[in-house]
Amino acid sequence: MSGREENQQLPGTGLIAILGAGSLGRLWAGYLSAGKVAFVPRHGSADVSGADSLSYRLQRFDGSAASVSIPWLTSSSEQPSVLLVTTKAGDTLGALESRLPELPCDTPIVLFQNGMGSQQAVAERWPRRPILAASTTEGANRPQQGQTVHAGRGETRVGALTDRARPFVKPVVQALAASGLKVHAEPDIRQRLWDKLIVNAGINAFTAILNCRNGDILNSRFYLERIDDLCAEIAAVLEAEGGRPLTPAMIRERIETVAQSTANNTSSMLSDRQKGRTTEIDFINGYVARRGQAHGIEVPVNQMLTERVQQLSADPEAGRPGNQNKPGAS
C-alpha cells in the first residue's frame, strides 16, 4: 500500500456538512449525532429565510419519531470534516461549483446521487480533491411538509473516486456509521454504482411511462416486449465499460427480483414525474445510451426510454394517474 492509501484522519473537529436538504439529506442529518451535523444553504440564500436551523420530524424505520433541528452552516461555523452531497444528479455539479470554492481542498466530499455520470463529472472537474461516492439502498421520502420518513432500511457503500480520496474511505465510513445506519467501505464503488444503475434502468423509466408501481411493470406488455432487448444493451455497454460481465438473463433476473421485492413502491422517477420535478433519466437510461454510443453499441431501447421520459417532463399531463393511453404505453 502506498503512503497515500494509508488511512488519513478527517480534517476539522468532526462536523458533517450536508449539501441538499431533501429526503436523503434529512435522513442522514436525523440519524447523525445532534451538534455534529449542519446543512449547507443553497448559494445566495445564506440567511435561509432568517432561520438558523431546519426543523422537521423524522419517522425512523423502527416506527419511533423524533423532532430534529439541524443548523444551517454559516460563514462563522467551524470548517466541516466531510461534505455529504445529497442533491439530485442533475443539480450536483452546479451546487458544488457554487459551494466548493469556500471549502478547503482536503475536505472529503461524498456524492450520494443515483445513476451514473454526475459522479464522474464531479471527479473530472476536481481531480485533486478527495471525491468519494456512496451507493445507498436506504429509502427516505417526505410525504408532507415538515415530515421525513425512513421508508426503507438498506445499507450504504462508500468508495473512492479520485486518488486523493482513498485514505479517507475508512474515516468517512466510521463517521457515517456513527448514525447507526449500516455503512461499509467499498473497494470498487464504480461496480456498485453500475449494480444499482442496472436495476434502476430496468424499473424506473417503465414506471414513469406506465404511471404504475414497481411490481406492475412485470405484467405490462410495454415492459415485456422490451425488457430482453434492454438487458442485452445494458450487458454490452457494461462489458465495454470494463464492468463485471453479466448476461442479459442475469440482468433481467436482478431487475425483476427488485421489482417484486418493491412491488408496492412508487419509484423515485414516477414520484418526480407526479410532483412535476426533473427526473434523473439522463443519469440512468440516458447514461447507458451515452456510453453505448461512445462505444459504437446500438442502444435503441435505452434511447427510447430516455426520450419518452424527457417528453413526459415536457408534457405534465402525460404522467398523471388515469392518463396511460399514450401510444406504446400499453
Ligand X SMILES: CC(C)(CO)C(=O)C(=O)O
Question: Is residue 207 part of the contact set for ligand NDP (CB under 6 A)?
Answer: no
CA distances to 16, 37, 150, 183, 228 from 178, rounded to whole Å, are 11, 12, 17, 9, 42
- In the β-sheet with 139-141, what is the strand arrangement from edge to edge? 65-71, 53-59, 147-152, 139-141
- Provide the binding-site residues for ligand X, judged by CB under 6 A: 114, 199-200, 203-204, 214, 258, 262, 265, 267-268
Question: Is residue 21 part of the contact set for ligand NDP (CB under 6 A)?
Answer: yes
Asked if 196 is an active-site residue, the reply is yes
> Closest Cα to residue 84, out of 106, 63, 107?
107
Q: Out of 31, 56, 72, 112, name the contact with ligand NDP by CB under 6 A.
A: 112
Choose among ligand X, ligand NDP, none what residue 265 binds, the Cβ cut-off being 5 to 8 Å by kind: ligand X
Choose the catalytic residue: 182, 196, 275, 326: 196
> In whole angstroms, how close is the CB of 31 to ligand NDP at the nearest point?
13
Which one, 72 or 283, has the nearer CB to ligand X? 283
**Residue 80 corresponds to which amino acid?**
P
Say how far apart CA 121 and CA 185 lie, in whole Å: 22
> In whole angstroms, how close is the CB of 281 to ligand X at the nearest point?
11
Burial 211-229 (b: 16+ CB within 10 A, else e): bbbbbbbbebebbeebbeb
Which one, 79 or 262, has the nearer CB to ligand X? 262
> In whole angstroms, how close is the CB of 2 to ligand NDP at the nearest point?
32
Q: Out of 8, 81, 107, 114, name the contact with ligand NDP by CB under 6 A.
A: 114
Length of the chain: 330
Residues serving a catalytic function are 196
Contact set with ligand NDP (CB under 6 A):
19-25, 42, 86-89, 91, 94-95, 112-114, 136, 138-140, 268, 280
